[in-house]
Amino acid sequence: DYMPNLSRVKEQSIRFNKHYTPSYIAAGTFNTEFQVHTSLLPATGGIPTYVYERNSFPYALPKLFGGAGYTARSFHNSGGDIYSRGAIHPNLGYESYTSGADMGMEETSMDRYLINGFEEMVKEEPFFSTVITFSPHGNYGPDTPVYLAHPEAQRIAKNQEGFFPNAVAGAMETDLFVGALMEKLEESGHLEDTVVVFYTDHYNYYLQNDALIMEMKGVDNMNLIRHTEFFIYAQGQEPMDVEKVTGSVDVLPTLSNLFGLDTQGAFLVGHDALGDQGGYVFFEDGSWYDGETYWDSSSDDDGNAHRRAEIAWLINLNNALLRGDYYAARTGG
Tell me the DSSP string of 40-63.
Answer: SPPP-SS--TTHHHHS--TTSHHH
Indicate whether 332 pLDDT > 80.
no
Per-residue model confidence (pLDDT) at position 105 = 98
Mean pLDDT of the chain: 96
Per-residue model confidence (pLDDT) at position 307 = 94
The string of DSSP codes covering 79-109 is -TTGGGHHHHHHHHT-SEEE-HHHHT-SSTT
User: pLDDT by residue (tens digit) across 82-105?
Assistant: 999 999 999 999 999 999 999 999
Q: Span 188-195, mean pLDDT?
A: 97
User: pLDDT by residue (tens digit) across 223-257?
Assistant: 999 999 999 999 999 999 999 999 999 999 999 99
Q: How far apart are CA 176 and CA 114, in angstroms?
A: 10
Judge contact between 111 and 55, C-beta under 8 A.
no
Q: Span 131-152, mean pLDDT?
A: 96
The string of DSSP codes covering 180-205 is HHHHHHHHTT-GGG-EEEEE-SS--G
Outline where the chain has alpha helix (H): 4-11, 28-38, 51-54, 61-67, 85-92, 100-103, 118-121, 145-149, 152-156, 164-187, 210-217, 251-259, 305-324, 326-331
Residue 257, CA distances (Å) to 64, 130, 240 in order: 12, 19, 17
Indicate whether 315 pLDDT > 80.
yes
If pLDDT is split at 50, 70 and 90, which confidence band does 126 have?
A: very high
Per-residue model confidence (pLDDT) at position 300 = 85
Instruction: Please choose, from the candidates 132, 135, 179, 177, the residue with its C-alpha nearest in 3D space to the C-alpha of residue 29.
Output: 132
User: pLDDT by residue (tens digit) across 295-314?
Assistant: 999 988 888 899 999 999 99
Q: How far apart are CA 222 and CA 202, in angstroms?
A: 12
The count of residues in the chain is 333
Per-residue model confidence (pLDDT) at position 27 = 85
Indicate whether 43 pLDDT > 90.
no
Per-residue model confidence (pLDDT) at position 23 = 93
Which H/E stretch holds residue 131? Answer: strand 127-132
Q: How far apart are CA 243 and CA 257, in angstroms?
A: 18
Per-residue model confidence (pLDDT) at position 295 = 96
Beta partners for residue 199, in sequence order: 230
Indicate whether 197 pLDDT > 80.
yes
Task: Pick from 23-32, 38-47, 125-134 the range whose average pLDDT is largest.
Answer: 125-134
If pLDDT is split at 50, 70 and 90, which confidence band does 333 have?
A: low
